[in-house]
Amino acid sequence: MTWTSDELMTVNAARALAGARTCFVGIGLPSAAANLARRTIEPGLVLIYESGTLGSKPARLPLSIGDGELADTADAVVSVPEIFNYWLQAGRIDVGFLGAAQVDRYGNINTTVIDRGPGRPEGRLPGAGGAPEIAASCGKVLMVLRHSRRNLVERLDFVTTVGHGSGPGDRARLGLPGAGPVAVITDLGVLRPDPETAELVLTELHPGVTAEQAREATGWKLRVAPDPGVTRPPAPAELAALRELSDRGAADA
Partner 1 sequence: MAEILSLREAVAALVRPGDTVAMEGFTHLIPFAAAHEVIRQGLTDLTLVRMTPDVIYDQLIGMGAARKLVFSWGGNPGVGSLHRFRDAVENGWPRPLELDEHSHAGMANRYVAGASRLPFAVLRGYRGSDLPSRSDTISTVRCPFTGEELAAVAAVNPDVTVIHAQRADRAGNVQLWGLVGVQKEAALAAERVLVTVEEVVDELDPRPGAIVLPSWSVHAVAVAPDGAHPSYTAGYSVRDNDFYQAWDPISRDRDTFLAWMRAHVLEAA
> By CB under 8 A, how many residues form the interface with partner 1?
63
State yes or no: residue 67 binds partner 1 (CB under 8 A): yes
**Considering only CA atoms, which of 138, 56, 41, 137 is closest in space to residue 95?**
138
Q: How many CA atoms lie within 13 A of 135 on its CB side?
A: 27
**Considering only CA atoms, which of 239, 220, 224 is closest in space to residue 194?**
224
Q: Applying CB under 8 A, which of residues 30, 58, 62, 107 lies at the interface with partner 1?
A: 62
Structural contact between residues 107 and 184, judged by C-beta atoms closer than 8 angstroms:
yes
Distance CA 233, CA 208 (A): 10
Give the shortest CB-39-to-partner 1 separation in angstroms: 19
Give the shortest CB-115-to-partner 1 separation in angstroms: 12
Site string for partner 1, 20-59 (x = CB under 8 A): -xx----xx-----------------x---xxxxxx----
Structural contact between residues 136 and 160, judged by C-beta atoms closer than 8 angstroms:
no
State yes or no: residue 65 binds partner 1 (CB under 8 A): yes
**Considering only CA atoms, which of 199, 206, 209, 118 is closest in space to residue 152?**
199
Structural contact between residues 220 and 14, judged by C-beta atoms closer than 8 angstroms:
no
Length of the chain: 253
Distance CA 201, CA 105 (A): 8
Q: Applying CB under 8 A, which of residues 4, 18, 59, 85 lies at the interface with partner 1?
A: 85
Provide the sign of the torsion angle of the four alpha carbons 61, 98, 55, 13, taken in this order: positive
Give the shortest CB-217-to-partner 1 separation in angstroms: 22
Q: In whole angstroms, what separates CA 86 from the centre of its chain?
A: 22
**Any idea which residues carry the catalytic annotation?**
50
Q: Applying CB under 8 A, which of residues 1, 2, 43, 68 lies at the interface with partner 1?
A: 68
Give the shortest CB-172-to-partner 1 separation in angstroms: 11
Q: Applying CB under 8 A, which of residues 18, 59, 90, 237 lies at the interface with partner 1?
A: 90
Give the shortest CB-202-to-partner 1 separation in angstroms: 25
* Nearer to partner 1 (CB atom), residue 68 or residue 236: 68
- Binding positions for partner 1, 128-187, rule CB under 8 A: 128-133, 136-137, 158-162, 165, 170, 174-177
**Considering only CA atoms, which of 139, 196, 142, 132 is closest in space to residue 168?**
196
State yes or no: residue 100 binds partner 1 (CB under 8 A): no
What are the residues binding partner 1 (CB under 8 A)?
Answer: 21-22, 27-28, 46, 50-55, 62-68, 70-72, 75-77, 79-81, 84-86, 88-92, 112, 121-124, 126-133, 136-137, 158-162, 165, 170, 174-177, 252-253
